[in-house]
Structure 1
Amino acid sequence: MTYDPSRPAGRLLLTPQDKDAPARVRRLRRLGLGERSEPALDAFADRLAQVAAAPYSMVNFIDEQRQFFAGLHTPDGGAGGGRLAAAAAGNELRYMARDHGFCPHVVVRRKALVLEDVCDYPRFAGNPVVDEFGVRSYLGAPLLDRSGIALGTICVVDVEPRPWGRAGLETIKAMAAELAGQLVRREEDHGI
């Protein structure tokens, strides 16, 4: 856990300590991931949103300081949908501080996370994305490479509570495994 003294008094940030971050950053750089958006990852995010029937989806790579959404889907390509879509339309959502959102928890835990209503969980209800963007529901899974490093996540979010259920959990895990397999093939094709 980290405490940020620049936050209002008493606001404890519950972003987990990430001891694997240096190794992840080296691996991401070697794979050429996490620094620019990629049409194939945007297309994957589009398909993920469709499969999950969610308004927002992301393919997220995380370094020591921030998150980068290399794949991003928003309603109407960012043309609608409130504060979250407006931020995405201006590419503000391609980068996010590491202490914003829920993906850093997924990466550190190396397990999927289902939050049907983030406000039901005190640990997550105070996350900045809840107030800043109106995020109310989250479903994410880690992208594990063949060495076992969690490179990042795939996730879907909604501005309304969502009953993701077991079907949602199984879907996000299967989609994460699919994309992880694509990343392994990319690595093999490029001799990395």
Structure 2
Amino acid sequence: MSAPVPYQHYDPTSQMLVTPEDPDAPARAARLRSLGVGSLPLPEFDAFARNLARILETPYAMVNFIDESRQYFAGLYATGQPGVELPPQEASSSRIMSKDHGWCPHVVVRKKALVLEDVCDYPRFAGNPVVDEMSIRSYLGAPLIDWNSGMALGTICVIDTDTRPWGRQGLEIIKAQAQEMVARLHEIERQGGI
């Protein structure tokens, strides 16, 4: 007969890494600098975000680039819906968010789309600061994979304050739109950067 195993307290949050480790961050930051992305709002990317929100019928959409320490919304569309206070679109400094907020850092590290119909259904993601601070309930995002390096440079995403059944169609749309943005980034590079 074996000795009884002592009772161990289980902490369900102990295995939940809020911000994923990101070994590609330095190389990504260098690549973004070479493209000229990440320091100024870009009207073309704002228009892309606006169109993405229209297609997926969401109040918010972003073109988000992630470096070593932050996220930068080079493209941002926010309807100004009550209860959610996203930064105004005019000031570039207000487009910066910590890497421990939101789910785009997870998309970049995974290099795969992320579909959260109700973030509260996923303990790993439900505790994210934007759930309480901004009342976000659903998220749909896809990585922007650089064709040359295979590295994820950032994401495009949409969010909503209500739960959303994104379905296969939503996933296909966000992935196709991500490819369009990557093609645009490569076109920008061919033209000598932003």
Counterpart of 1:73 in structure 2 is 77
Are the structure 2 counterparts of residues 134 and 63 from structure 1 closer, same or farther at C-alpha, using a change threshold of 3 Å?
same
Q: Does structure 1 residue 17 correspond to structure 2 residue 16?
A: no
Paired residues, number: 179
Residue 82 of structure 1 aligns to a residue whose secondary structure is: coil
**AA in 2 matched with 1:107:** V
Quickly say closer, same or farther: Cα 1:139–1:151, change in 2 above 3 A: same
- Cα shift readout 1:158-180 (whole Å, capped 9, x = no counterpart): 00000000000000000000010
Distance 2:112 2:50 in 1: 23
**SS at 1:155 equivalent:** strand
Task: Answer whether contact 1:28 1:151 (CA < 8 A) is retained.
Answer: yes
Match of 1:164 in 2: 166
Verify: 1:132 aligned to 2:165, yes or no.
no
Larger radius of gyration: 2
Q: Secondary structure at the match of 1:81?
A: coil
Question: Using the alignment, how far apart are the partners of 2:15 and 2:150 within structure 1?
Answer: 33
Q: Which has the higher helix share?
A: 1
The whole-number CA distance in structure 2 between the counterparts of 1:169 and 1:93 is: 29
The reply on whether 1:26 has 2:27 as its aligned counterpart is no
* Correspondence 1:11-160 to 2 at 5 A: 13-75=17-79, 80-84=80-84, 86-89=85-88, 94-146=95-147, 147-160=149-162
Q: Deviations over 1:89-122 (max 9, x none)?
A: 2757511100100000000000000000000000
**5+ residue gaps, structure 2:** 1-13
Question: What root-mean-square deviation, in Å, do the aligned CA atoms of Structure 1 and Structure 2 show?
Answer: 2.0
* Structure 1 contact 13–99 (Cα < 8 Å) conserved: no
SS in 2 for 1:89: coil
* TM-score (norm: length of structure 1): 0.88
The letter for the 2-side match of 1:57 is A
Q: Distance in 1 between matches of 2:94 and 2:46?
A: 13
Change (3 A) 1:175 1:191: closer
User: Structure 1 segments of 4 or more deviating over 6 A?
Assistant: none
Matched-pair contact (CA < 8 Å) for 2:136–2:162: yes
Report how far residue 154 of structure 1 moved: 0.1
Is 1:177 the counterpart of 2:176? The answer is no
Looking at structure 2, the residues matched to 83 and 93 of structure 1 have their Cα atoms a distance apart, in angstroms, of 18
Q: Which runs of no fewer than 5 residues in structure 1 stay unpaired?
A: 1-9
**Distance apart, 1:11 and its partner CA:** 11
Structure of greater relative contact order (alpha carbons < 8 Å, 6+ residues apart)? 2
SS state of the match for residue 19, structure 1? coil
Q: Could you tell me whether the CA contact under 8 Å between 2:35 and 2:193 is conserved in 1?
A: no
Identical amino acids, percent of aligned pairs? 61
Task: Tell me by how many angstroms 1:12 deviates.
Answer: 6.1
> CA separation in 2, counterparts of 1:103 and 1:41?
17
Task: Measure the CA separation in 1 of the matches of 2:145 and 2:57.
Answer: 24
